[in-house]
Chains A and B, each alone.
Chain A
Amino acid sequence: MNTYKWLVRREIWENRAIWTLPLAIGAVLLLAALFGRVEFDVPFLAVQTHSAGALLLFAFGAVFFFVMSIYSAWYLLDSLYADRKDRSILFWKSLPVSDAETVIAKLATGLLVIPVVYFVVADSTTLIIAFIVSLRARTWLGASLWNPEIWLQLQVLWIYLILTIAIWFLPVAAWLLLVSAWAKRSVTLWSIMPPLALVWAEKMFFGTHLIGEALSDRLMTGYPATAFHDFTGSLAAAAQGTAAAPLDVWKLLAPVDFVASPSTWIGVAVGVALVAAAIKLRARSVEL
């Protein structure tokens, strides 16, 4: 465990953007909350203000979330490749750290450490923003932002997102690591081209589109459909003020469905196989 602590610390030393980028986003949002215009002239019903406040905070969270997803993917794709590019792999390999430990530490950094850092920064930022906005706009909106119930919901949503995303996107992260361990150059191209080639070859030779569907399910539609009860629908309803009740995170989350879904576990199995392959490649990567 001690080795993993140092390996993750090394990732944070090397990739300072892990914390500087969310801090920069937080700073921009804070400046906007401090000096931006706060003006809401849409009359809300009391029951909807609750949702509107929550939505505002969720929107802040979404900004962090969006940047985090892109950064994390980039990090995974670069992580093993960077050591080979600057030849520092010869230094890392001179230490008593196994290739499995190295690869797993990088996977954990991309799937857990980076999201947790964003979570902590997003959380503190939204807390401060809620405080500022509630002071500046002493209206119903201010009151609804400064609301423990919304706050708690946000925490639960974040933790749920971090855990389920780490599981659902494990095969994607593992694929990025595999490319990172293998490709001599143009890691981005190598991460995209082989799956596209497979989709094309399947259509060409079998006339079917199974791989393409599996990929788009894994990358886009599958996650919200498996981990949530009608995620987009609930958000849209809350945004339009047509929701019967305030936005309720408890009703959105579908942990039982997520755990019971075969597609969750197929993904885990594929992910584990790809991680094992990445470890094998890392063992001989001085030759690659």
Chain B
Amino acid sequence: MPPLIEARELTKKYGSYVAVDRVAFCVEPGRIVGLIGPNGAGKTSIMRAVLGLSPYEGQLRVLGREPFRERAALMRDASFIADVAVLPPWLRVDQAIDFTAGVHPRFRRDRARALLAKTQIKPTHRIRELSKGMKTQVHLALTMAIDAKLLVLDEPTLGLDLLARRGFYDALVNDYMDEARTILITTHQVEEVENLLTDVLFIDRGRIVLDSSLEAIAGRFAAITVNNDQLPAARALNPFHERRALGKTVLYFENVAGAALAALGEVHTPTVADLFVAKLSRGAA
């Protein structure tokens, strides 16, 4: 099967500012990919290009289509939630369902109804009457009722409290992901999506700095916690990042044999969040 998303030399400029700089990546079917990067790294620019919301330079194919030129056709097979609270405030919940059912050939009205029946939201509610968390529930119910090949989530839980964020991901895991789905997700809250992801793409200053599956991370990256007396020996193995923790030092290594590290201290596989910090800390060792 060809990749669902294929980017080569993908570039996005705003005037002279290069937000995305000749980026290449692929998203294969059935994967859940996290696009992770600090503010201003170019995440949103990549997402907008993928969703056909903005023009770009370079090559980009999403579900075999050119997103900017064929956005409407693309949206028959892909769906997205970009940011919270973008449902129009005047819209009633039943109108949202009717409208989506009217224009979207792959929308399943009964599924949207069933998802909303689990919540406190009534069909006659207007979006403006709902809390932020409830708005997100409505949007998620609409999106999950679309039988899409690709779901893109851009900071889907931004500005939500902890309960609403948990609710969002629980619904996604329990009511959506059981089928074979491909999801591309960006978020700052790395810890929250860590258990969902099959792949990560780290992006920094417009470039991809890590493109790996989670399985591959365990074989490729290692961290050791060492006492100060072991520090020079550990540094000799060329860590790419180190941080102080409770009088000890944690060092991060890429492609270094586990046996060599085990002699120096306690070896563990870094979490995605740790790896993110290690890879993207400015002025890292």
Q: Does B203 contact A (CB under 8 A)?
A: no
B257 located at the interface, meaning its Cβ lies under 8 Å from any Cβ of chain A in the complex: no
Q: Report which residue of A5, A88, A95, A96 has the largest number of chain B beta carbons within 10 angstroms of its beta carbon.
A: A96
- Is the pair A88, B99 in contact by a Cβ cutoff of 8 Å? no
Give the complex CA separation of A287 and B82 in angstroms: 14
- Are A2 and B102 closer than 8 Å at their CB atoms? yes
The size of the chain A interface, using a CB distance under 8 A, is: 28
Asked whether A284 lies within 8 Å of B55 as measured between CB atoms, the reply is yes
**Is A87 at the interface (CB under 8 A from chain B)?**
yes
* Chain A at the B interface: SS class: helix
User: Which of A2, A7, A10, A91 touches B86 (beta carbons < 8 Å)?
Assistant: A91
Is there a chain B Cβ closer than 8 Å to A90's Cβ?
Answer: yes
Residue in contact with A87 in the complex, picked from B48, B86, B105, CB distance below 8 Å: B86
Contact of A97 among B68, B72, B82, B88 (CB under 8 A): B72
Q: Is A286 in contact with chain B by the CB < 8 A criterion?
A: yes
A98 to B74, CA, bound (A): 10
Is B48 in contact with A101, judged by CB distance below 8 angstroms? no
- Cross-chain contact of A94 among B79, B89, B95 (Cβ < 8 A): B79
- Do residues B68 and A283 form an inter-chain contact, with CB atoms below 8 A? yes
Instruction: Please tell me which one of the listed residues A14, A90, A96 contacts residue B72 in the complex, with CB atoms under 8 A apart.
Output: A96
B:134-190 near A, CB below 8 Å: 139, 143
Residues of B within 8 A of A265 (CB): none
A3 CA to B99 CA, complexed, in Å: 9
The residue in chain A whose Cβ has the minimal distance to the Cβ of B77 is A96
- Cα of A258 to Cα of B92 in the assembled complex, Å: 43
| Contact A6 B53, CB 8 Å, known A87-B83, A96-B75 | no
Q: How far is A97 from B105 in the complex, measured between Cα atoms in Å?
A: 11
Tell yes or no: B18 within 8 A of A by CB.
no
The verdict on A286 contacting B54 (CB below 8 Å), with A14-B88, A87-B86, A94-B80 known, is: yes
Q: Which of A94, A101, A283, A286 is the one whose CB lies under 8 Å from B81?
A: A94
Alpha-carbon distance between A10 and B100 when the two chains are bound, in angstroms: 11
Chain B residues near A90: list those with CB within 8 A.
53, 82-83, 86
A182-195: contact bitstring with B at CB < 8 Å (1 yes, 0 no)? 00000000000000
Does any Cβ of B come within 8 Å of A86's Cβ?
Answer: yes
Total contacts A to B, CB within 8 angstroms?
83
- Whether B87 and A91, one on each chain, are in contact in the complex, defined by CB atoms closer than 8 angstroms, is yes
Instruction: Give the complex CA separation of A68 and B17 in angstroms.
Output: 46
Whether B76 and A96, one on each chain, are in contact in the complex, defined by CB atoms closer than 8 angstroms, is yes
B85 at the interface (CB under 8 A from A): yes
The closest CB in chain B to the CB of A2 belongs to B102
Interface assignment of A35: CB less than 8 Å from any CB of chain B: no
Contact in complex: B95, A13 (CB < 8 Å): yes
CB distance from A4 to the nearest CB of B (A): 10
B106-137 with Cβ < 8 A to chain A: none
State the CA gap A13–B92 with chains docked (Å): 9
Closest to B70 in A: A98
Question: Does B237 make an interface contact (CB < 8 A)?
Answer: no
The reply to whether B88 and A91 form a contact with Cβ atoms under 8 Å apart is yes
Residues of A within 8 A of B75 (CB): 93-97
Q: Give, as a whole number of angstroms, the nearest-CB distance from B267 to chain A.
A: 44
The residue that B53 contacts in the complex, of A9, A87, A93, with Cβ under 8 A, is: A93
Q: Does B103 contact A (CB under 8 A)?
A: yes
Given known A13-B90, A284-B54, contact A96–B73 (CB-CB < 8 A):
yes
In-complex Cβ contact of B99 among A9, A86, A96 (8 A): A9
Does A91 contact B103, Cβ atoms closer than 8 Å? no
The answer for the CA separation of A83 and B90 in the assembled complex, in Å, is: 11
- Whether B104 pairs with A287 at a CB distance below 8 angstroms is no
Is B71 at the interface (CB under 8 A from chain A)?
A: yes
- Residue pair A95, B103 in contact (C-beta under 8 Å): yes
| Chain B residues with CB under 8 A of A2 | 102-103
Q: Are A287 and B90 in contact (CB under 8 A)?
A: no
Task: List B contacts of A3 (CB < 8 A).
Answer: 102-103
Decide if B262 is an interface residue (CB 8 Å cutoff): no
Asked whether, in the complex, the Cβ of A10 is within 8 Å of the Cβ of B99, the reply is yes
Asked if B233 is an interface residue, CB under 8 A from chain A, the answer is: no
Cα A99 to Cα B190 with chains together (Å) = 34
Q: Which residues of B contact A88 (CB under 8 A)?
A: 86-89, 91
Question: In the complex, A94 Cα to B47 Cα: how many Å?
Answer: 12
Query: Across the two chains, which residue of chain A brings its CB closest to B106?
Result: A96
Instruction: Determine the residue in chain B with the shortest Cβ distance to A93.
Output: B53
Q: Which one, A5, A10, A14, A286, contacts B48 given CB within 8 A?
A: A286
Roughly how many angstroms separate A5 CA and B95 CA in the complex, as a whole number? 14
- Asked if B82 contacts A6 (CB within 8 A), the reply is no
**B103 contacts which chain A residues (CB < 8 A)?**
2-3, 6-7, 95-97
20 contacts between A and B (CB under 8 A): A2-B102, A2-B103, A5-B102, A6-B99, A13-B92, A87-B86, A88-B88, A88-B91, A90-B82, A91-B86, A91-B139, A93-B53, A95-B75, A95-B100, A95-B104, A96-B76, A98-B72, A283-B68, A284-B54, A286-B48
Known: A83-B88, A88-B87. 10 other contacts (CB 8 A): A9-B99, A10-B95, A13-B92, A90-B53, A91-B88, A94-B79, A94-B143, A98-B71, A283-B71, A287-B53
5 cross-chain pairs, A with B, having the tightest CB-CB distances, nearest first: A6-B102, A88-B88, A98-B72, A96-B75, A90-B86
Residues of A participating in the B interface, judged by any CB pair closer than 8 Å:
2-3, 5-7, 9-10, 13-14, 83, 86-91, 93-99, 101, 283-284, 286-287
